[in-house]
Amino acid sequence: MNDKDMMRRALAEARAAAEAGEAPIGAVLVGEAGEILAAAHNAPIASHDPTAHAEIRALRLAAERLGNYRLPGTTLYATLEPCAMCAGAISHARVARLVVAARDPKGGAVWHGPRFFEQPTCHWRPEIAEGPFAAESAALLRDFFRARR
């Protein structure tokens, strides 16, 4: 599996979120051998949980599956630049690589806002890559929110 395949899967999760009335953001966590450990989408509304972002849900599912809160050697694919909360969780989980489709100037914390991984208080920094399908991810978000205005 390659970055395009994994981001396609994350986009499918984002579409599922939109169909459920949640912000269309998806995440997929992949192990060292290329196996999908977890896939999730945003669900704070349905779960009544403000922390139920796609990235955190994927990290939780994988940690439970592996029986370890640390996820070394993994790659996380996210359709949108993670917020500060998600960036913190990625750091604590020791994710090796983060692949992001679309940048988020309003709420992102990787290239925008607090630039979480650049802070001296950040103890673990994943390799960060801009992934494929940025335009598709941004359009999905734009269309979702435009329909709600």
For residue 126, give both structure tokens: 């994943």
The answer to the question of whether 53 is labelled as a binding residue is yes
The answer to the question of whether 83 is labelled as a binding residue is yes
Give the separation between CA 101 and CA 115, rounded to whole angstroms: 17
For every residue of 65-82, DSSP letters joined together read: HHT-S--TT-EEEEEE--
Cα 41–Cα 132–Cα 88 angle in degrees, nearest 5: 50
Active-site residue, selected from the candidate residues 55, 118, 130, 136: 55
The answer to the question of whether 48 is labelled as a binding residue is no
50: number of Cβ within 10 Å: 9
Give the start-end residues of each E strand in the chain.
26-30, 36-41, 75-80, 97-102, 127-130
Tell me, yes or no, if 55 is annotated catalytic: yes
- Helices 3-19 & 134-147, crossing angle to 10 degrees? 10
Q: Which residues are annotated as a binding site?
A: 53, 83, 86
Active-site residues, by number, are: 55
Q: Which residues are annotated as a binding site for Zn(2+)?
A: 53, 83, 86
